[in-house]
Amino acid sequence: MHPVVKTVLERLALGLATLFFVSLIIFSAIEMLPGDFGQAILGQAALPETVAAFRAELGLDKPAYIRYFDWALGAIQGDLGTSFSGRNASGADRSAEVVDKIAPRLWNTLFLASMAAIIAVPLSLILGILTALYRNSFFDRSVNTATLTTISFPEFFVAYILILFFASLNQIFPSLANVDADTAFGERIYRTALPAFTLTLVIVAHMMRMTRAAIINLLASPYIQMAKLSGASQTEIIIKHALPNAWAPIATVIAFNLAYLVVGVVVVEVVFVYPGVGQLMVDAVRTRDIPVVQGCALIFAVTYILLNLLADIIGIVTNPRLLHPK
């Protein structure tokens, strides 16, 4: 077997094992959450027997390990269970499938994340390479200062500044990104412009500086000096010789930031009133809607694992040493 294929398969297996452990952690962490859905939803009217009836109806009276296997087996088949909210003890069950609850919001989150990624990733790669090329120049310093400034501010602050300049003082973009399933594609892009810019400003610094550092680091190695002595131009050295060896660290950072775009943007969602999956999870935690919390947490975990796996694989397949083993 080719060593690359072998390494990739190894990583895949490791990813699956990680997912198993993460699912265990999610389940037990939620077990440890104080409070109870019955009490949260019934409030003042929570009599002990009503709460007990509620728990029995929701299957919360079964032992934890049985509930874990029920949930995990369902999740493997794409069934994340039924949301607790919308149920009541009067017999009417209007609760939605967790998958149906999460799906439209996950699509919104992924849309925003892709918007931000499409702007941020090429931008930071180009800026990273350019700053490495012209390092210590005025250009390098100003790009570094600017990106460091935007990453240093909390994202809600960046968001408010953008709103002030682009929605309030000059009404170029809308300040509300309240899209729904019927919003047309063009309108959707227009509405999500400001949140996407906010996220871009927040993540560019990390990726750009990693690209710059990785390339500069390589420029000091002997094989680059060799290339230099053989008369290659600066651009050629960076693109052709340095970059292929720099992909692994860059891909890792990009993966990390993309995962952040999916799982960590609840603040931006709130500021721009964007119906993403973060707000859903926060609401679900507040009302102890366990299946939804577990579903969201699992999806977040899968996102992290998949993106890191992808970064690993990119690191492996672009690494000349692994590609051409002795």
Residues at the contact surface with another protein, assessed by CB under 8 A? 41-45, 50, 85-86, 88-92, 94, 101, 160, 163, 167-168, 171, 174-176, 178, 180, 270-273, 275, 279-280, 283-284, 286-287, 289
Judged by CB, which is closer to another protein: 63, or 91?
A: 91
Q: Which two tokens stand for residue 146?
A: 């600017």
* 136 sits in which H/E element: none
Judged by CB, which is closer to another protein: 151, or 270?
A: 270
Q: Which two tokens stand for residue 268?
A: 């931006």
Report in angstroms how near the CB of residue 233 gets to another protein at its nearest. Answer: 50
Judged by CB, which is closer to another protein: 34, or 222?
A: 34
Report in angstroms how near the CB of residue 196 gets to another protein at its nearest. Answer: 16
Which contacts (CB < 8 Å, 24+ apart) does range 76-80 have? 80/291, 80/294, 80/295, 80/298
What Rg value do the Cα atoms of the chain yield, rounded? 24
Q: Are 301 and 29 in contact (CB under 8 A)?
A: no
Judged by CB, which is closer to another protein: 30, or 125?
A: 30
Q: What is the largest CA-CA distance in the chain?
A: 84
Judged by CB, which is closer to another protein: 89, or 232?
A: 89
Report in angstroms how near the CB of residue 54 gets to another protein at its nearest. Answer: 9
Q: Are 54 and 37 in contact (CB under 8 A)?
A: yes
**What does the alpha-carbon distance between residue 301 and residue 288 come to, in Å, rounded to a whole number?**
20
Report in angstroms how near the CB of residue 171 gets to another protein at its nearest. Answer: 5
Report in angstroms how near the CB of residue 287 gets to another protein at its nearest. Answer: 5
